[in-house]
Amino acid sequence: MLRKSIFFVVFVLMIGMMVACSSNNNEESSAEQPEEETETTEDNTESQEREDSDENGTNEEETGEEGNEEDNTENQEPIYYIDEETASILPIEDADEEVVLLTIDDAPDEYALEMAETLQEKDAKAIFFVNGHFIEDEEGQEALKTIHEMGFPIGNHTYSHPVIPEIPEDEQTEEIVSLNDKIEEIIGERPQFFRAPHGANSDHSREVVKEEGMVLMNWTYGFDYFEEYQDADKLKEALISGEAPEIDINYSLLQSGANILMHDREWTNEALGDVIDGLRDQGYEMADPNLIETLE
């Protein structure tokens, strides 16, 4: 009886020890598991932070490079100026002299957008001189915005294309200033260049142009408004050579600094690409009007 009692006590103690060991093992296992999860979470967080840092660094570098490009364009110093007496584009200091300036009047009528696209394809620039009656409707305003967004400077060619010396001074002022206001309303900038219709200025219009902070310019040659040259092939030959025998110009007007007049016309639109190529074949590059010295 005594032996049975002793055996029973020993058996109970063994069972108790086994239960206790099992409980301790479970507690140790439970205690270790959160540490592993914590380490994994910390590793993931550090990895994500490194990735975010790399991405931010790349974005900051890319943004910085784009910003620098824009700043470089905006901060470029002028390298040309317009001689008001001759209308030629002349170099400041050591800028390339073998350049000509392309200008397009009476825009944006029917072909200005196509002409802007041709210029862009040929990596050439021009000034688009605008009339107010072409930007009264939504279509004209959208065309003006597009040309401006393509990087082409917008010039003032008066609101309704009058012969300036033939109208009263108050109307001269209105023709110039109201168009500047209209253009600024559409593209957010006032024009920095002015060209009078028919090249006809008055003392008063010159004063208004100066007060408005614009560079006044005429042109050195252009033929597309003569009936004899309202043909793409004839016009191309005339503009590339600077000669127009049909109107008694048998000597070349093409020279360094030429300010070439064109218009928003079908035949000029058709000839434009070949004109640019032809001028380059003769050693001339198209000047960037964004690099012309202005009054502001």
- Whole-number Å distance between alpha carbons of 262 and 290: 18
Structure-block tokens of residue 76: 């470029």
pLDDT values of the chain reduced to their tens digit, one per residue, 296 residues = 444 444 443 444 444 444 444 444 444 444 344 333 333 344 444 444 444 444 444 444 443 444 443 344 456 899 999 999 999 999 999 999 999 999 999 999 999 999 999 999 999 999 999 999 999 999 999 999 999 999 999 999 999 999 999 999 999 999 999 999 999 999 999 999 999 999 999 999 999 999 999 999 999 999 999 999 999 999 999 999 999 999 999 999 999 999 999 999 999 999 999 999 999 999 999 999 999 999 97
Peptide bond between residue 153 and the one before it cis (omega within 30 degrees of 0): no
Q: Which helix (H) or strand (E) holds 187?
A: helix 169-187
The DSSP string of 69-85 is HHHHHHTPPP-EEE-TT
pLDDT of 76 reads 87
DSSP 3-state assignment of 252? Answer: coil
pLDDT of 16 reads 46
- Whole-number Å distance between alpha carbons of 7 and 15: 12
- Whole-number Å distance between alpha carbons of 122 and 102: 13
Question: pTM of whole model > 0.85?
Answer: no
DSSP 3-state assignment of 223? Answer: coil
Closest listed residue to residue 146, CA positions, set 179, 177, 181, 120: 120
Contact, 190 vs 183, CB < 8 A?
yes
- Whole-number Å distance between alpha carbons of 239 and 77: 30
DSSP 3-state assignment of 267? Answer: helix
